Amino acid sequence: MGHNIHIKKETAIYAVCLAVLFCLFAWRQFFGFNKNDEIFYISTVYRFFQGDAMLVDEWNNVQLFALITYPIYWLIRLVHNSNEGIILLFRMAYLVFQALVSVWCFCRLKRFGWIRILPALFYFVTTPYNINSMSYNTLAFGFVLLVLVTLAGSENLSAPMCILCGMFTAGAVLANPYVVILFLLYGVICVGSAVWSHHTKNNWKQCQQRIPDALKIRTYFFMGVGAFLILLVFVWFVFSRGTLNEILECFEYIVMDTERQKSFWEKLAKYFIRIHRYYTGLVYLTAILSVVYLIARKAGKQVSGELYMIAEAVAAGGHIIYYGFCWEMVGINYMLVPLTFVGLLAYVTSEKKDRYVFYGWFLPGVFYTLLAHFATNTGILTMSASCMIPSAASLVLIGQHMQAAKESWPAMQPNGYDTALMQESHKYSAVCGTVLAVLIVVQFAGGIWQRVTYVWGDEKLPKLTVAAEEGPLKGIHTSEENSLLYEDVMQDMEDLQLTREDKLFVVGIAPWMYLNTEAECAAYSTWETLETDPLIFTYYEVRPEKQPTVIYCYDYDESILDTEFGTAFLNKGYKPMMMRRGLVLLRR
């Protein structure tokens, strides 16, 4: 009975916190005009909705994430037959996605009691770059977290749960193909566990009983089944629009990513260099404290882990305060890293080590930060954002550390705690618990502050006073300058009178234009395309049917006509025309 009361209390606290945060973040979705990243995510899925072929008409190498967002976009268009206000609708859809992931984490982590509230809400508070949209980053982080929480959250894994976990894995792979490496390594570990266990015991049944469910080949097999089901959907979607020959012809250009062409060793070295550069003190402090603690324990000395945790928490708290409240640029990403260091030391100094959380969640999460670093050209930004995953595990490890310290206190007497006994048996546990609690509060306060106040790609929040009244940005508040810019482009598009028969190519950073028309996308990607891009003419050689009828050169003047780009299209018979916000080349 008492246990059920505790569960109901935990659930009520979590539900109230989630509801309050959901309302706060829903209000925040109405502010900020992100001219590139966010709209690129939506315009990519829109071109597939219009009928373009994945891996054939689209050449951006992150395009696979759109398979996940396609059904969501389709459902929106089912009840809302235009792209008017689509940016706001997608922001709300992302908030619902976050809430569902958070609820799943809370439910799967039931064995941790009240501690499960922390990682579930922590995920909901964070979002990379504070870009509130379903992107290859946000989807990858969400699905990887779902996989690790599912595996580490319970000691028993049913076949249906494993299949669902495999589907989560496939979602993560679509968002970030590097996750395949994590999945393959997991398979190697499962096979290795079976071989090692069979080597020590000849009876196969006994061997399987000794292995945790998360490391059984059966678990990996059913996860493979779940991933295969998503693979079938992917194959059907791709080959229903393009042929194998077309895909092979375009594939070399899709993987020809000039932005990410760095050697393996250079990327690996920069991963550690960047961590050291931004978190120098924490790196050395964590290393020193861990080594000293382990040496002392090895020597048989009685060591108070609380002292080590106090020092670590104070140092981490300083970094969180700096990046969460003082740092100007993307502090919402940077402030996620310090908690990972605290979680590592919490495990090292713990008397009762939860190996499920550490080996099944924390370490794979840290490894994923390396994969995220390899998958992007944004350096510390995406890597720090991906630390949400190991930091969520760190909150569990920190919570367990606090709980263990509290449980080891002497029994409370009728007149309170025996002060002398407290001082004798637990000199530092109360202080440590308080410091760790403050650290968690600071982490959440900084995350919420960043989530509300930081604006990616627009002016600061108080300056976002003008609401768009039409087009894909409808309902979003932006600055006066951006509002004028947006209205001018919308007027230009109205003057062009684009129809479904047109093929639009936008040069410059204005992908929202693709969302404001039913004209076919005639670009190899809706990501920012400059006139110097070498793939422009290659694309039209490989896909001649994609030759544009309208080329809108956003924020360009007549000088672009003197470039190689301008000359090439003039020679093809395109007619130039200046408009409010750029130069247009027409051939209808």
Round the average pLDDT of the chain to a whole number and report it.
Answer: 92
Q: What is the pTM of this model?
A: 0.94
pLDDT of 556 > 90? The answer is: yes
For residues 195 and 201, give the distance between their C-alpha atoms in angstroms, rounded to a whole number.
10
DSSP assignment letter at 84: T
Question: What long-range pairs does 2-8 form, CB within 8 A, spacing at least 24?
Answer: 6/113, 6/114, 7/110
Please say if the pLDDT value at position 141 is more than 50.
yes
3-state secondary structure 408-471: CCCCCECCECCHHHHHHHCCCHHHHHHHHHHHHHHHHHHHHHHHHHCCCCCCCHHHCCEECCCC
Residue 401 reports pLDDT greater than 60: yes
Query: How high is the pLDDT of residue 463?
Result: 97
Return d(Cα 24, Cα 18) in angstroms, integer: 10
The band of 377, judged by pLDDT with boundaries at 50, 70 and 90, is confident
Give the type of residue at 36: N
Residue 588 vs residue 271, higher pLDDT: 271
What's the pLDDT at 212? 85
For 199-223, write each residue's pLDDT tens digit. Answer: 665 555 555 666 888 899 999 999 9
| Among 50, 550, 382, 548, residue whose Cα is nearest residue 42 | 50
Quick check: 242 pLDDT over 60? yes
| Predicted local distance difference test score (pLDDT) of residue 421 | 46
Average pLDDT over residues 548-567: 96
Q: Which two tokens stand for residue 316?
A: 């981490």
Look at residue 24 in the predicted model and tell me its pLDDT.
98
pLDDT band at 448 (very low <50, low <70, confident <90, very high): very high
Residue 423 has pLDDT above 70, yes or no: no
Query: What is d(CA 137, CA 358) in angstroms, rounded to the nearest whole number?
Result: 23
Least confident range of 44-58, 85-99, 143-157, 258-272? 258-272
**Residue 355 reports pLDDT greater than 60:** yes
Section 429-437 average pLDDT: 88
Is pLDDT at 257 greater than 90 in this prediction? no
Q: Kindly report which listed range (104-118, 237-251, 422-436, 445-459) carries the lowest average pLDDT score.
A: 422-436
The string of pLDDT tens digits covering residues 318-328 is 999 999 999 98
Task: Give the span between the Cα atoms of 202 and 207, in whole angstroms.
Answer: 8
pLDDT, position 424: 46
Alpha-carbon separation of residue 15 from 28, 107, 320, 400, 450 (angstroms):
20, 12, 26, 22, 22
For the stretch 73-99, pLDDT in tens is 999 999 999 999 999 999 999 999 999
